[in-house]
Amino acid sequence: MDEQIIKKAEELIAQRKLSELKEIIPQRPEDIAHFISHLFSSSWKMIVFRMIPQETAVEVFMNFASEEQEKILENLTSVEIRRILNEMSVDDRTGLFEEMPAELVKKFMTYLYYEEREITRQILNYPEKSVGRLMTPDFVQLYEDMTVEAALEHVKQIGLKKETVYHSYVLNSERKLIGVVSLKKMVLSNAGTLIKDIMYKDVSKINAYCDQEDALAIFKKYDLLALPVTDNNEKLLGIITFDDLVDIVDEEATEDFQKIAAVVPMQEPYLEANILNILWKRSFWLILLVILGSVSGFILQTFQLTMQKWIALSFFLPMLINTAGNAGTQSATIVIRSLTVGEIKINDFLKLILRESMLGALLGVILALACVLRVFFQEYNWHLSLSVGLSMGLTVVISSVIGAGLPIVLKKIRLDPALMSGPLLTTIIDIVGIIIYFGTANLLLGTFFKTI
């Protein structure tokens, strides 16, 4: 949104030139929401929001961020709140309530009509991040013994109130999902044809208690526009549409980036977040990493005699640590991404470890040889060169295995694999690398001392 337009709007509001203001308000609901959100004063935002036609207000409201929605609701009358909340789609309303404090949810639930309140309460009872939290009951349902003519008439009657009409879901007498039929298929079929004769029986579906990421994997695999949600008895509860998952994709990606950078995930936009909240979420991991990093100091202290005898060992320690961290991060990044898109399963653990061991060994040999030459041309000492080179090879192998294995272990114990990347993984590999480096030096160079 052009900053000049926002500034002009604020001047018109301050001068109470509302007729001129109305002319510069955007037309699309998404643009109107963006326009209102960037106004300076909360009272000015309410002035513009109340100027919007009633038939557009709900769509505009649904395009606000959850924090903005709460502020808007706090300034509306009871009649306005009731109209907006009851006209919102079920999934959008559930998303709003998920972000609210419990006391506010309890308050706003009283504004819902009985049927809407019961649907919302049922959805909120599903576990957080489960498919049930995303679904909407606004779908077109047909029965197997209906004719195409009757089915099309049914779609015409209720279609405007439903999330989508492109696919209708076919139920049997027990309300169990048995098929799906597209609007195109019905339009092109004879009026007297039975729905059961044209429906597609092999329906992709998901249980309401499954994780949202499982739904995303199904959407990607089968290129779906909508996915039916069932209970444990295969009864159809609702559907998830692709647009419901767009926010989930963005949220999951943002959360993973934050975890990779060792930041406790933040729910609100960066510039809108409380600075003390950001301080806590960043300092938590940094303090933990300081504690873990101090282990490296204790290990170095135990090898101080080796370092005193071979001062040159300290010259090559950063090279080894950095290379090991890079190797581990490479493995972890590939595995985490493969876990996310479903290319790797938890059951592939042993196969993955074997594969990374082989890759690590090949990389280790190459880097070890390069390291031997690098050290020799600086120090002209074959014993030191072999010690550093061997340490490099062993560390790369072990770092690759750690980087590949730990994300799967975290996945197995139901923790986010993204935790095992970035600073945390690097800190762990630093500790392992230092032990291998000086342990190898102690063994090889200590033996050499005895022979001279």
In sign, the C-alpha dihedral spanning 216, 221, 225, 226 is negative
Measured CA distances, 280 to 263, 265, 424 (Å): 9, 11, 17
Q: Phi and psi of 25, rounded to 5°?
A: -70, 130
Measured CA distances, 17 to 6, 48, 168 (Å): 14, 12, 49
Q: Is 63 helix (H, G, I), strand (E, B) or coil?
A: coil
The reply to whether 135 falls in a domain is no
Phi-psi region of 172 (alpha: psi -120 to 50; beta: other; left: phi over 0): beta
Do residue 288 and residue 425 come from a single domain? yes
Cβ(177)–Cβ(235) under 8 Å? yes
Q: Is 239 helix (H, G, I), strand (E, B) or coil?
A: strand
* 374 contacts: CB under 8 Å, gap ≥ 6: 319
Task: Quote the pLDDT of residue 410.
Answer: 78
Task: Quote the pLDDT of residue 451.
Answer: 40
Do residue 78 and residue 106 come from a single domain? yes
Q: Which residues of 57-79 are buried (b: 16+ CB within 10 A; e: fewer)?
A: bbbbbbbbeeebbbebbeebeee
Strand partners, 227: 240
Task: Quote the pLDDT of residue 428.
Answer: 82
Strand partners, 130: 211
Tokens read off for 11: 């001047």
Do residue 178 and residue 117 come from a single domain? no
**Domain with 99 in it: what CATH number?**
1.25.60.10
Residue closest to 444 by CA, chosen among 384, 368, 354: 384
Residue 323: what residue type?
A: T
Domain boundary (189, 214, 248) is at 248
Task: Quote the pLDDT of residue 112.
Answer: 92
The reply to whether 62 falls in a domain is yes
Distance CA 85, CA 87 (A): 6
Cβ(259)–Cβ(419) under 8 Å? yes
Do residue 329 and residue 440 come from a single domain? yes
The reply to whether 262 falls in a domain is no
Chain centre distance of CA 102: 24
Distance CA 85, CA 100 (A): 14
Do residue 171 and residue 222 come from a single domain? yes
Measured CA distances, 62 to 34, 37, 394 (Å): 11, 12, 55
The reply to whether 103 falls in a domain is yes
Domain boundary (102, 130, 158) is at 130
- pTM assigned to the model: 0.60
Task: Quote the pLDDT of residue 148.
Answer: 94
The reply to whether 260 falls in a domain is no
Q: How many domains does the chain have?
A: 3
Count Cβ atoms within 10 A of the Cβ of residue 8 and give its class: 0-12 exposed, 13-18 middle, 19 or more buried. Answer: middle
Do residue 335 and residue 388 come from a single domain? yes
Element (H, E) at 240: strand 236-241
Q: What is the pLDDT of residues 163-220, one digit of tens each?
A: 788 899 999 888 889 999 999 999 999 999 999 999 999 899 999 999 887 888 888 8
Do residue 198 and residue 313 come from a single domain? no
**Domain with 301 in it: what CATH number?**
1.10.357.20
Do residue 302 and residue 436 come from a single domain? yes
Domain boundary (130, 153, 175) is at 130
Do residue 25 and residue 154 come from a single domain? no
- What 374-379 contacts at long range (C-beta under 8 Å, 24+ apart), as own/partner pairs, is 374/319, 375/316, 378/315, 379/312
State which residues form the domain around 167.
141-248
**Domain with 191 in it: what CATH number?**
3.10.580.10
Do residue 46 and residue 72 come from a single domain? yes
Strand order in the sheet with 206-207: 206-207, 226-230, 236-241
Alpha helices in 261-348 (DSSP H): 275-302, 304-309, 313-341
The reply to whether 82 falls in a domain is yes
DSSP-derived pairing of the beta strands 167-171 and 236-241: unpaired
Distance CA 245, CA 216 (A): 7
Do residue 82 and residue 149 come from a single domain? no
* 81 contacts: CB under 8 Å, gap ≥ 6: 73, 108, 111
The reply to whether 136 falls in a domain is no
Do residue 315 and residue 399 come from a single domain? yes
Q: What residue has token string 């961290």?
A: 325
Cβ(345)–Cβ(389) under 8 Å? no
The reply to whether 404 falls in a domain is yes
Task: Quote the pLDDT of residue 450.
Answer: 45
Q: Walk along the chain (452 residues) in steps of 10 and give the mean pLDDT of each run.
A: 79 85 88 88 87 87 86 88 89 85 88 90 88 89 93 90 87 89 93 93 92 84 88 90 74 60 54 66 71 76 74 79 83 80 80 87 88 82 82 88 84 69 75 84 63 39
